[in-house]
Structure 1
Amino acid sequence: MPSSQDKPKTTTPSNLCQPMETPGILSLLRQLSSLSGDKRSKSLFRVFKLFPQLSSGCKMVALLGRPRKSLLTSHGYTATGTLFGYRKGRVSLAIQEDPKCVPTFVIELPILTSAFHKEIASGLVRIALESETKTSKKKLLEEFVWAVYYNGRKTGYSIRRKVRSEEEIHVMQLLRGVSMGAGVLPCPSDKELADGELTYMRARFERVVGSKDSEALYMINPDGTAGPELSIFFVRVQ
């Protein structure tokens, strides 16, 4: 764990998002797993209280993100993630257990769809959602208000939807039998004329639960082939 006296290098936001090894974090997680319940809770609380000091966004993502294989153990499983939106609008994120299930998490991100397409074409996208709350009674993905960081830059705030919109229901119905893919969907109305085509990208994600206050989704490329790297992180900072 870096000390408060370490002077970080001056880098651009994109450089901050490069993969990095974090043996210190892995060692800390192993130590926490061996503690009793009360001690573990107190230690986890101290760890998460450090996140604001280390800055949010991509630095926080780096702490949670690498190397992921060592963190899987029994907490690793998969989920379906869909990013969709009108070309001239904002991109939305929906998470499901599988394509036929009702989404457990839907949110419109403060990210332009055109910007997302451009970044994913470059091969690396990392999205971090950070929730600040005074209680942890809710499950992590049941939180409503999220600060959103996109490739290391804070882009704004989003609120998780309680009720799905017409477009969201339309997209989920059309993609009910689709496990992965990307393309253009027919619009539910004449909105295409104003906002452009309705686009989507769907993939399976490796889901890693670090604790009750941290989760990560890593896109799985088909057959292990090289392709875009998309990671989504959820962190609750108390």
Structure 2
Amino acid sequence: MAKIDFLRRLICPCFSPSRTATAVAAPTTTKKRMSASLRDDIQEDQDKSTTTRDSSSEEESINNDNHHHSHQLLPPRPSKSMVIGTIYGHRHGRVLFCIQHDRLSSRPSLLLELSMTTHLLVKEMQCGVLRIALKCGRLDMRTSPLYSIPLWTMYCNGRKVGFAVQRRAKDKDRLILKTIQLVSFGAGVIPSEKKEEDDDNGEVMYMRASYERVVGSSDSESFHLLNPVECSDQELSIFLIR
């Protein structure tokens, strides 16, 4: 019961007239030259103004094109959403990590069986930080959907600890998820219907909470535990990297 109490404490405690009027009139030819000069000056000013407007328009067009291209070169922003994550397993059996978009559904979107026992998981969580990285380097799986990869190399807090297997939910898994479907945040134990010592038929420990799902690209995705404000500052993240 110490492990159960630890899990419960962990997850339940996060824009004028002119003067020249009397002067002698200048020859007519002079007036014509002055008018022609004036017209030339006006025409020159108009040409300069037109050239300036054309230059400004070209600069604005170039700036808009550069701005457009800069937006095209920016990488896509990661998309974020909230999902329900459940970690469960028998006391000395392997841990399973389940992702659901609808907590009332007994069909998980992703189910991973980790090569880690419940006892070891609780021990790792006691330090306050748990990061599980699942990596796949198979060339034949580059174009496959991320959730369809059957086998992952597993790292726990930087240490390689074996593998994780993606599998379909069995009747037992659906029964467990149906039993705790009304639980949105918490940890506990599901008692066994059969009083046997075999772990496969024994009590099931579970920890259920909301996770932030971050999709970086088609080759990377991660899940991060969301702690309520009044709860402990436990950090738990699971990464899928191809």
What's the offset of the Cα at 1:179?
1.0
Residue 103 of structure 2: SS of its match in structure 1?
coil
Q: Write the deviation string for residues 178-215 of structure 1: whole angstroms up to 9, x where unpaired.
A: 11110101225445x22253100011011111110001
1:209 aligns with 2:189: no
- Of 83-92 and 153-162, the range deviating more from structure 2: 153-162
How much has 1:225 moved relative to structure 2? Answer: 4.3
Aligned to 1:99: 103
1:1-238 to 2 correspondences below 5 Å: 34-35=72-73, 75-101=79-105, 102-134=107-139, 135-162=141-168, 164-191=169-196, 193-195=197-199, 197-223=203-229, 225-236=231-242
Amino acid at match of 1:161: R
State how far apart, in whole Å, the 2-side matches of 1:182 and 1:121 are.
Answer: 15
Q: Residue 78 of structure 2 contacts residue 217 of structure 2 at CA under 8 Å; is this kept in 1?
A: no
Percent identity between matched residues is 37
Secondary structure of 2:184's partner? coil
Q: CA deviation at 1:159?
A: 2.0
**Shift of the alpha carbon at 1:165?**
2.8
Identify unmatched segments of 5+ residues in structure 2: 1-69
Is the CA contact 2:78–2:214 (under 8 Å) kept in the aligned structure 1?
no
- Please, what TM-score do these two structures have when normalized by structure 1? 0.64
Distance 1:165 1:212, change over 3 A: same
> For residues 206-229 of structure 1, what are the alpha-carbon distances to aligned partners after superposition, in whole Å with 9 as ceiling and x for unaligned?
111111000111100013744211
How far the C-alpha of 1:100 sits from its partner, in A, is 1.5
Aligned-pair RMSD on alpha carbons? Answer: 2.4
| Aligned-pair CA distance for 1:34 | 4.1
CA-to-partner distance for each residue in 1:13-66, whole Å, 9 max, x for gaps? xxxxxxxxxxxxxxxxxxx98439xxx7xxxxxxxxxxxxxxxxxxxxxxxxxx
d(CA) in 2 for partners of 1:34 and 1:96? 34
Aligned residues: 169
Question: Structure 1 residues 225, 138: CA separation in 2 closer, same or farther (over 3 Å shift)?
Answer: same
DSSP 3-state at the match of 2:73? coil
Is this contact kept in 1: 2:94–2:113, CA < 8 A? Answer: yes
State the structure with more CA Rg. 2
TM-score w.r.t. length of structure 2: 0.63
Segments of 5+ residues of structure 1 without an aligned counterpart are: 1-31, 41-70
Using the TM superposition, give the Cα deviation of residue 177 of structure 1 relative to its aligned residue in structure 2, in angstroms: 1.3
Q: Is contact 2:78-2:215 (8 Å) kept?
A: no
